[in-house]
Structure 1
Amino acid sequence: MDTYVRAVGAAALQGLLTGVWVAAGELPPAKRRLSRAGAVITLSAVASIGDRTFPDEARAVPPQPRDLSPDPRALGGGAGEAPPRPISKARLAATGVGVAVSVATMIGGRRLQKRWLAALARDGHAHPHRALGLRLGLISFAGTLPRQLIRVHEAR
């Protein structure tokens, strides 16, 4: 069962990973790859610790015997097949709009990152990539948190 604490933790991990990923941009290539890989592995391990809980109901249900009879559809018999669904134009349009918005968001976000990084370097910041990593980590946290909280609220 998801909790609000877990939702905040997942958003914090996402923000931390984003911040570390961006902040590593000022490192030499070998150290950058090593730090990014270490961050992904470490944060994945931390996230998986919380996923090891099993609900009591799952343990109480005995395993059901498997049906070993062959599936008639796998043998070439089409008796159990459902007719193909027609493609909805509205669904296709919504998918296209979703892809376009995602691409525009990625391009706009990358431009904003470059602009902020240039401004930090121009202003003489000692570590512009670290400052950019902090900004983007906070933005990632703020962007991820509502989605996580909504998911928990809907599950209850």
Structure 2
Amino acid sequence: MYSYAQATGAAALQGLMTGVWVAAGELTPARRRLTRAGAIVAFSALGSIKDWAFPDDKATTGGAACCTTKPAALAGTALSGTALSGVAVQGSSGAGTERAEGVDDLADDLDSSPEPVSKARLIAGGAGVAIAVATMIAGRRLEKRWLAGLTRNGHTHPHRALGVRMGLISFAATLPSGLIRAHEARQQS
């Protein structure tokens, strides 16, 4: 289950990553690239360590594991592209072929025509994309305005101050969606 602490931690990491990314702007190009690459590696490692130290059953919660784990009927088989079209699956020993359960159902699902998309879903998707683009443009304009103001006022490290500001905004923008997700997960359990 996705908890409030996980939502807050994820938002804090997002804010920290944004702050480091922006603050690296005052470095030389080589150091800036090195700092940004190091931040990506460090935060990826933190995420991997968290996943390793606190495993959860993602197959039951709808996570990515439900799409990557093989069902029990397909254990020990090597699926190929032809297996999905109803052809027998080659066994792991390679000695013969065996029919895997559920392969015909999967082939039927792939062959069926997709359901038509409603106009409301298309409008909602378009609105979501428009909001995301507008948010990115507004954030970049705000970032440029703040940086110009900090530089004009003679701040000794304007990119660092801007990094702190943008990190806090990133944290504040990321936190509500995570808290909503945690609240919904708590309601379902």
Q: TM-score, normalised on structure 1?
A: 0.84
Where do 1:4-153 residues align within 5 Å?
A: 4-52=4-52, 53-55=54-56, 64-66=72-74, 70-72=83-85, 80=108, 81-153=111-183
Deviation of the 1:74 alpha carbon: 7.1
In 2, Cα distance between the equivalents of 1:16 and 1:131? 13
Q: Report deviation, 1:55.
A: 4.0
Counterparts of 1:124 and 1:30 in 2: how far apart (Å)? 25
Q: Secondary structure at the match of 1:51?
A: helix
What percent identity do the matched residue pairs reach?
Answer: 62
Deviates further, 112-121 or 4-13: 4-13
**Which structure has the higher relative contact order (CA within 8 Å, separation 6+)?**
1
RMSD: 2.7
Query: Structure 1 residues 124 and 74, CA, compared in 2 at 3 Å: closer, same or farther?
Result: farther
Post-superposition shift, 1:102? 1.3
Structure 1 residues 72, 12: CA separation in 2 closer, same or farther (over 3 Å shift)?
A: same
CA separation in 2, counterparts of 1:37 and 1:12?
A: 19
Distance in 1, matches of 2:125 and 2:3, equals 31
How far the C-alpha of 1:90 sits from its partner, in A, is 2.0
Shift in CA distance, 95/130, structure 1 to aligned 2, threshold 3 Å: same
Paired letter, 1:44: S
Does structure 2 retain, via aligned residues, the 8 Å contact 1:18–1:136? yes
- Rounded to whole Å, the distance in 2 between the matches of 1:12 and 1:40 is 15
How far 1:147 sits from its partner (Å)? 1.1
Q: Is the 8 A contact 1:10 1:47 kept in 2?
A: no
SS at match of 2:74: coil
Bigger shift: residues 109-118 or 141-150: 141-150
Structure 1, 123-132 or 40-49: larger mean CA deviation: 40-49
Output the CA distance in 2 between the equivalents of 1:74 and 1:143: 49
- Offset of residue 28 of structure 1: 0.4
Query: Tell me, what secondary structure is at the counterpart of 1:125?
Result: coil
Q: Which runs of 5+ in 1 are unaligned?
A: none
Q: Secondary structure in 1 aligned to 2:144?
A: helix
Deviation sequence 1:90-139 (CA, Å, 0-9, x none)? 22222222211111111111111000000000011000000000000011
Secondary structure of the residue that 1:86 maps to in structure 2? coil
Distance 1:129 1:74, change over 3 A: farther
CA–CA separation in structure 1 for the residues paired with 2:119 and 2:73 = 43
Structure 2 Cα separation of the partners of residues 35 and 119 of structure 1: 25
**Counterpart-to-counterpart distance in 2, 1:64 and 1:131:** 54
2: CA distance, partners of 1:54 / 1:13: 19
